[in-house]
């Protein structure tokens, strides 16, 4: 809420008082201009005027026959809503945040039990297995995909379970079918040294997925998931 103020004055000769509406209109133009500036500065849609006071003052100069008359308007402008540009920015920010959330396939609980390399303990691997198994039945597609990737990871590297790349591929493929390309990218990595045709097939599926890892080309997310990115 910010103060706004407008005043308009005219000289008069007797009788005076006939041009109050014209003066009021001019003073209100100033008030509205200030309110609009406040709206622009606040990136708002509009402004609501509050506590508006209209005051008329008369100053006689010559026995009441000549003088000056002023109409003063003061009050407060309260910005309301968001401008179209602000709404667009807000929507874009929300979409970017959701896109980032969808791209983060390690956001579900099970991943917190997994450390890099061989430092994952049997106890932590078992906790991860239990958590991923539970979350793989989630009704939220993102949580489900995240958990399926975790199960694929456990079976691919034999953490908490007997190593079984066939099962790993099954879990990764389920993730891919939910629209998360990194599952296909992980399968491409499994076939990297054994079947170039299958590797290319799953890389293509990864790149076509609605939620694919970021980037393009050799250093893109799908290539990195397959272990192909970098120098």
Distance CA 80, CA 24 (A): 25
DSSP 148-216: HHHHHHHHHHTSSS---HHHHHHHHHHHHHTTBTHHHHHHHHHTTTT-HHHHHHHHHHHHHSTBPPS--
The pLDDT of 123-133, averaged and rounded, is 94
Going by pLDDT thresholds of 50, 70 and 90, the confidence category of residue 217 is very low
The reported pLDDT for the residue numbered 156 is: 95
The pLDDT of 17-23, averaged and rounded, is 75
The pLDDT of 194-209, averaged and rounded, is 93
The pLDDT of residue 111 is above 70 = yes
pLDDT digits (tens, 9 = 90+) for 166-180: 999 999 999 999 999
The pLDDT of residue 231 is above 50 = no
Structure tokens that stand for 201 in this block: 């097939």
The reported pLDDT for the residue numbered 21 is: 86
The reported pLDDT for the residue numbered 218 is: 45
pLDDT digits (tens, 9 = 90+) for 71-105: 999 999 999 988 888 888 888 777 766 666 666 66
Q: pTM of the full predicted structure?
A: 0.57
Query: What domains appear along the chain, each with residue ranges and CATH number?
Result: 2-81 (3.10.28), 100-225 (1.25.40.10)
Cis peptide leading into residue 210 (ω within 30°): no
pLDDT digits (tens, 9 = 90+) for 64-77: 578 888 999 999 99
The reported pLDDT for the residue numbered 204 is: 93
The reported pLDDT for the residue numbered 135 is: 95
Structure tokens that stand for 175 in this block: 């993730």
Distance CA 7, CA 55 (A): 9
The pLDDT of residue 213 is above 70 = yes
Distance CA 221, CA 215 (A): 5
The reported pLDDT for the residue numbered 214 is: 67
The pLDDT of residue 19 is above 60 = yes
More confidently predicted of 72 and 114: 72
């Amino acid at each position: 809420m910010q103060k706004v103020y407008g005043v308009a004055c005219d000289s008069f000769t007797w009788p005076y008082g006939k041009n109050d509406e014209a003066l009021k209109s001019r003073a209100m133009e100033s008030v509205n201009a200030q309110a609009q500036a406040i709206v622009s500065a606040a990136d708002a849609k509009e402004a609501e005027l509050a506590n508006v006071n209209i005051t008329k003052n008369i100053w006689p100069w010559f026995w009441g026959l000549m003088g000056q008359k002023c109409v003063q308007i003061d009050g407060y402008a309260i910005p309301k809503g968001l401008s179209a540009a602000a709404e667009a920015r807000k929507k874009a920010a929300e979409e970017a945040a959701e896109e980032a959330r969808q791209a983060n396939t390690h956001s579900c609980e099970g991943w917190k039990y997994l450390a890099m390399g061989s430092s994952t303990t049997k106890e932590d691997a078992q906790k991860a297995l239990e958590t991923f198994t539970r979350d793989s039945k989630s009704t939220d597609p993102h949580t489900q995909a995240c958990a399926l990737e975790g199960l694929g990871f456990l079976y691919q590297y034999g953490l908490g379970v007997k190593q079984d790349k066939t099962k790993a591929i099954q879990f990764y493929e389920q993730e891919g079918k939910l629209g998360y390309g990194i599952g296909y990218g992980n399968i491409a990595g499994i076939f990297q040294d054994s079947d170039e045709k299958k590797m290319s097939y799953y890389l293509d599926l990864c790149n076509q997925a609605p939620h694919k890892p970021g980037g393009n080309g050799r250093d893109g997310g799908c290539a990195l998931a397959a272990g192909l990115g970098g120098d």
